[in-house]
Amino acid sequence: MVLLLRVTQKLLKLNNRFLALFTALFVLVSSTIMYALEPETFTTWFNALWYVMTTMATVGYGDYFPTTVPGKLYAMFLYLFGIGLLSLVIGKLLEFFGTLKKRKEAGTLKFHGNGHVLIIGWSRKAQAALDELLHAEPDLEVVVVDDLERTPVDRERVHFVSGDPAAEETLETAGLARARAAIVFSDRSIDNPALADGKALLVASSIERLAPHIHTTVEIVLEQHIQNFRHVQVNEFILSDEAVSRLAVRSALHAGSVSLLTQLLSRRIGEDVFEVASRAEWRTYGDAFQGLLRLGATLIADGSDMTINRKLDEPLPRDARLFIICDKPTYERIRGQA
C-alpha cells in the first residue's frame, strides 16, 4: 500500500501529456498480459482490451472475467492500480477544462481563428457594436480587447483578451494579423479628451504597424486630432460627440431624418448599406445605377464619393467600390447573381 501511495504521488507530479501516454501504454500492455494469461477466456486481444477498460472504468459488465489464478492476480492489480490511474487521468482532465475556462474568462487564451473583428476598448458603445456585428453575420467571430481583469461578456462567437491594447503581445494574442477589421473605441475612463485621443492614437499606430492590411476604424473625441489619425493611415474615424450633435440638429431641422439614418446604421432595422461588385456590362455609372435599380437596390456611392448621381454618363472605373441601399434578401440575390 505504501508503494502504491508513493507511485501515485509521483504520477500526480507527471506532465499531463506524459501521464496520458503512460495511461494508454498501461492499458495496451495490460490487455496484452491478460490475453497472454488467458487466451481461451478472452479469445481475442480486443476482448482483453474491453475487459481492461471496463474494469478500470469500474463498469464491470461481467461478460469477460479471468478464471485462472495468474489472471485473477493481475485483475487484482488492475483494481488497485488501474482504477486509481484512470481516476487520476479523469481528475486531470477536469482540472484542465476548469483551468481552460478560468483562463478564457481572464482573457489569457490566445485566439487562433481568422477573419474576425477586433473590438478594442469596452464600453456601452462597444457592446452595441458587438450586438450589431453578431447580428449582421451569423458566422462572424469577435475578439474583445481591454485591460479588464475578467471578460465583460459571455456569449458565443465572442473571445476576450486581457491586456494593454497598444502592446504587441496583446494584439498578437488577439490574432491581429489574421483579423478582418479592428474597431478602436475611445477610453471613457479618461476624463481628459486629449489624453483619450492620445491613447486611441497609440493603439491605432500599433495596429497599423503590426497589420497595415486590416481595416481600422477609430472613435475620436476632438476634431482637431483628425490629422494625427490620418498620419498613421487609419482607414476611417468617427467623431463620437459630434455625430450625436449632428443627429440632434438633423432631427430638429428635418423631422424624421434621424429614423432614416438609424436604419442605415443598424442591420436590425429596415434598409442597410452594402457593397457590391461591378459587372462587365456596366460601362457607366448610369448603367450600374439602372441595373441595380431594376434589382431593387439604389446605388449611392463609389467608395466615399456620393456624387455619382450627377455623373451618370461618366465611365465606371474598374476598381469602383459600389455601395447600395437595400434590404438583406435583395443584397443576397444581387450577390448570388454576380
CA-based nearest residue to 264, from 274, 254, 256: 274
Please tell me the distance from the alpha carbon of residue 183 to that of residue 165, in angstroms, as a whole number.
12
In degrees, to the nearest 5, what angle opens at C-alpha 149 toward C-alphas 92 and 238?
130
CA dist 215 and 235 (Å) reads 6
- Topology of 2-105 in CATH? Helix Hairpins (1.10.287)
Host H or E run for residue 89: helix 83-106
Using one digit for the tens of pLDDT, what is the confidence trace for 255-268? 766 566 666 666 66
Q: Report how far residue 59's alpha carbon sits from residue 42's, in angstroms, rounded to the nearest whole number.
A: 18
pLDDT at 229: 77
Predicted structure pTM score:
0.62
**Mean predicted lDDT score pLDDT of the chain:** 83
Contact, 210 vs 177, CB < 8 A? Answer: yes
Evaluate whether 78 touches 64 at the Cβ level (below 8 Å): no
* Domain at 117-244, CATH homologous superfamily: NAD(P)-binding Rossmann-like Domain (3.40.50.720)
Give the pLDDT confidence score for residue 45 in this predicted structure.
93
At 278-290, the pLDDT tens digits run 888 999 999 999 9
Intervals of CATH 1.10.287.70 along the chain:
2-105
Give the chain's end-to-end CA distance (angstroms, integer).
Answer: 74
Indicate if the pLDDT at residue 46 is higher than 90.
yes
Quick check: 121 and 184 in contact, CB under 8 A? yes
CA dist., res. 252 & res. 257, Å (int):
9
* pLDDT, position 5: 53
Residues of the chain with CATH 3.40.50.720: 117-244
Cα distance between residue 259 and residue 185, in whole Å? 24
**Across the beta sheet with 215-220, what order do the strands follow?**
158-162, 142-146, 117-120, 181-184, 215-220, 236-239
CB 19 within 8 A of CB 92: yes
